[in-house]
Amino acid sequence: MNLTHQLIRWSRIRPHDWAIFHGARPWASFVQWADRSARLASAFRERGLEPGDRVLFFAQNHPRYLELLLGCWWAGLVAIPVNARLHHREVQWIIDNAQPRIGFLHKTVSADQLAGLEQAIEIESDSYESLISRREGFTSVPIHDTHPDDTVWLFYTSGTTGRPKGVQITARNLLSMGLCYFNDVDPIAPKDIMAYAAPMSHGAGLYSIPHLIAGARHVVPASGGVDPAELFELGRTLGPLSTFAAPTIVNRIVDYAEIERLSFEQCAAAFKTIVYGGAPMYVNDIQRALRVMGPRFVQIYGQGETPMVATALSRHHLIDTMHPRHLQRIASVGVAQTPVQIRIADAQGQALPTGEIGEVLVRGDTVMRGYWNNESATRETLRDGWLFTGDVGSLDEDGFLTLRDRSKDLIISGGSNIYPREIEEVLMTAPEVAEAAVVGAPDAHWGETIVAFVVAKPGQRADAELLDQLCKENIARFKRPKRYVFVTELPKNNYGKVLKTELRDRLARAPT
């Protein structure tokens, strides 16, 4: 079950069709991509790497990410893509934990900053070029016979609650994720093109798999990141883009379309599909996105532990405004994707009735093998075949999953369970509010008290009294924030998730 065979297939069917672009410039055809990956595999073997050895990528988005991924799998190696925005000390912890044999680094990182790598190669250097300037083509380099349950991708969690854990993603996990994309997220044709603006070390890179299976095209923006003007221009030049983005990135794209007063037709010429996930997308935001750009959107919910697969909220459900429960549905994360089952359970893992709130459990072929060198965490998270996600939610009678919050973000005040997202949804309807995050602060009398951190839109001022009145009109009084903290920005990790742990730490340091 080596995914490299998917590349070989297209290298024979359409060898000279362009497969990878760097900006609008063609980078590699299918046969060139296969040749480069095969040569990398050969070079890895010559340097003494054996199947199961790890290879670290610590680089900004680049077309070479794709040839490196396939080169690793060709040789039976495990890829460890790491977000380029991490501090080198954070990366050092991953190196110490995973013990990679070789690392590919971006030019702003010196190999001297990272200890424990036998070999370090800058991704845009002559040393890298020498790895692929070999005579062997893909027809002369044997492909490793990968078992479906072999680990092929080691994904390190964001580590917002402690040291990151290495999620072992197998060949079976990736193939199941890739195949279900066509059914549950979006059909893909060979003319389609996947754009990597969000980090390829995360969800965006994982979605290279279904596009590889379908023989579609891939583009890495020349900027290597998120520039809405660049993305719209790429879409108009190469054809409508598909992309994966966290809600913060989606909002930037929608902002650009709104400021430029682009029509539905102009948005459709630039974007085929924007898959969003990784953090809450508030109802007010997705309604605006649909109003500005039209039916371009699909939501997914998953975790590194079940990569990109748990539930999906389809394009159809997002635009079905005539359904009597439309608002509830677009506030949900959709229904279970094809390879998995979803259960809402109590602390013992026992299923709860429809509508009741509990922990979200996932079971199926996309669920990880376990955590790297962390048996205790694996036992805690994988129980009786189910992945305990740590997320809190409920299922309705139609199977739509509504997430409440991470279990660690639940606020218990006066004995009542309070879910911050419910309050945030209300605050986000205020026209002057750009972002909101609600957390609990220790309180001697109530146990916890509710605090809302609020970011106002540029040039506007949010008012605590008006926000309090808005909450009074929409939610129970005991759920209202007892305090508002107005800030210029919310702390976020490299993937755009708000770091509520840091907000709670701020309150602990300055409780008054």
What DSSP string runs through 273-334?
A: EEEE-SS---HHHHHHHHHHH-S-EEEEEEETTEEEEEEEE-HHHHH-TTSTTHHHHHTS--
- The answer to whether residue 219 scores a pLDDT higher than 50 is yes
Does the pLDDT of residue 346 top 50, yes or no? Answer: yes
Over residues 431-482, the pLDDT tens digits come to: 999 999 999 888 766 778 899 999 999 999 999 999 999 998 888 788 899 9
Q: What is the pTM of this model?
A: 0.84
Residue 142, pLDDT > 60, answer yes
Q: In which band, very low, low, confident or very high, does the pLDDT at 160 lie, cut at 50, 70 and 90?
A: very low
Over residues 117-141, mean pLDDT: 86
What pLDDT was estimated at residue 135? 66
What six digits make up the tokens of 136?
Answer: 């062997």
CA–CA distance from 403 to each of 21, 150, 358, 423 (Å)? 37, 32, 10, 13
Please tell me the least confidently modeled range out of 391-395, 435-439, 441-445, 484-488.
Answer: 441-445
pLDDT 10s digits, 281-323: 889 999 999 999 999 999 999 999 999 999 999 999 999 999 9
Q: In the prediction, which pLDDT does 431 show? A: 93
Token pair 């660690």 is at which residue? 408
The yes-or-no answer to whether 185-303 and 410-509 have a common fold is: no
Question: What's the CA gap between 113 and 103, in Å, rounded?
Answer: 12
Q: Going by CATH, does the domain composed of 410-509 fall within 3.40.50.300?
A: no
CATH of domain 185-303: 3.40.50.980
So where are the chain's domains?
A: 185-303, 410-509
8 Å CB contact between 317 and 298: no
